[in-house]
Chains A and B, each alone.
Chain A
Amino acid sequence: MKKAGKHIAFYGTLLLIWIIIAKLKIWPPYVFPDPKGVFDSLYAGFSDKSFLIAIGVSMRRMLLGYGLSVVLGMILGLLVASNKFFEETLGGLLVSLQSLPSICWLPLAVLWFGLTEKAILFVVVMGSLLSVTISMETGRRQMPKIYGMAGRNLGARGFRLFLFVLLPASLPYIVNGLKQGWAFAWRSLISGEMIFVSLGLGQLLMMGRDLNDMSQVIAVMLLIIAIGYIVDGLVFQTVERRLQRKWGVEEAAA
């Protein structure tokens, strides 16, 4: 409860500073809105359902793109981890590709797929695929060897060994990468939506700019933060903590 008090004090102060600056009217309200304006935008956005629709569209793209990159990333990661040749070639390429912001794929994507859903999915997949792949690869290595041995010892082989032993055993080691992949996918999606207009939260943000409506811009930013926080901070962290406790894996750092 003490922690909650600290949070209230901190965010309360932040809000207060915001109100004071807005009240000083250094900048016109369409450049620097006050909290009430942002709240009104939020309220209006939810009551005319435009925010809900945008969230729906963005989440659908996220689930599709992220789901795709998880499946592809796991396969790729296992391939790299289990084969010396791929490790030395593909592994290096993946690491170097990681320094490329995924939005850089957008021109290519638009060229290949046109201004379609496919293009934005491509950007989302490219955003998270690498971190999922790399975490799957390292997870496969970090996983204690004992599980694989125990599985074989009890007669499990081949695909059964993979599905019922190796995959579940590596979960606590890859969940962090999956989380990271989600965060990357989320960023890629928003940037993609901002640049190339067709519904979604990113487009809503740019619309606010085009209409000189900073309240809406900030309202959408708050939404993006909130969604990211809910998924990342609540869903993933809960799953991660549960897995690690159950698997008996000590957290490296809290």
Chain B
Amino acid sequence: MNLITLKNKNAQEVASLLDIKERNSLVEMFSTLGLPHKMTEEYHYFDVKKLLDVEYKTLNYVPKSIEEGDKIEIVDGVVTKAPKGLRVYSEVSENVDMEHFDALYYLGHLLSPRVIKIEVDGDTHVEILHKYTQSDALIHYRVEISNQANRHVTMYENFETEEIKNTLVLYGYDMNIAQDSTLRMVRLQTMSGNAYSMVSSHKITVAKNASVVLKNFDFGGDQALQVLKVELGEHAHVDAGHLLYLNDDSKRGTASQIIHRGEHSTSKQVAKNILDGQARGIFDALIRVEKTAKFTKAEQNSKSILLHKKAYMASKPQLEIYIDELEASHGATTGQLDEKQLFYLQSRGISHLEARKILVIAFANTLIETVKDTRHQERIKNAFEEVFYASNKG
């Protein structure tokens, strides 16, 4: 399959090319938004054409019997393992946002009408491991997560590959965070060596008095874009932290929309970006405050460090506000490591490479240390150090 064939096609043509006989409203949404290209705002800094204009191998998504395991394992888009007591199953989804801004959100739903549903009961920790084993493949799947009211869930999302190359992964979550509940999602993704590229397109709905905490740790190379839409109800809260450490000629980042719909809703979005080599980081983030969202508090900040003269950061924090009764702030800074600080560390016998690492870690630490579980905090630090040392060999 070559996705570029969907370019500039009307709904009927899209339905025919994808061999879809139902779900007309989704086809309409996809063809109205159109296949993303360079001028599509959220894909402007991301080389999406390079990913779409490729002949990919298509896979068969046959649900397997799910073995018991200590985590949820999704291999090439199919669930293979899940912890006992957790409801994980595959079903045709009716829960699709009909106002999403991302065409690939709809393409994902069109390609994957059956979604992986995860129902989390009680206060718990869940790990989701995504494994990719196929080269030159288009791997597409969608995951729907729901929790219960008044419950607190932490999810750790990790990625693994076998020795693969040139695969494209399209996946994403539709999350419904129930009233008075909390969901924390800690996502760690290290990519390298052209194994796979990814566009993940999510929709998160946060109900009244609920809270979602999203911590993304994206390290290494390759191409990946996280497209995120969050809708906040009354007194709902989102705390989104994005840490990027990129090297080589990677292009990765986040394009997001946080929409305040309910009164007294609050959002905090912090991005810390460290760009090495010829990497390009993306933080294209909009916070929109609707007329219904009086007394909103919204805070958005992006800080970037460029470790190489060819590195580039596209930081675009934006506020779109339709009311007066709110508190909102946003800002973005980009700079280099501080020479005085580097020298101070070196003057105590610490090597230039180690001093750079200490300062970069210090910059990143404020986000890494927001992960409460010290074991996972350590895991993230180790993943960071592994990538940092690989691209900064003495």
Genuine A/B complex: no
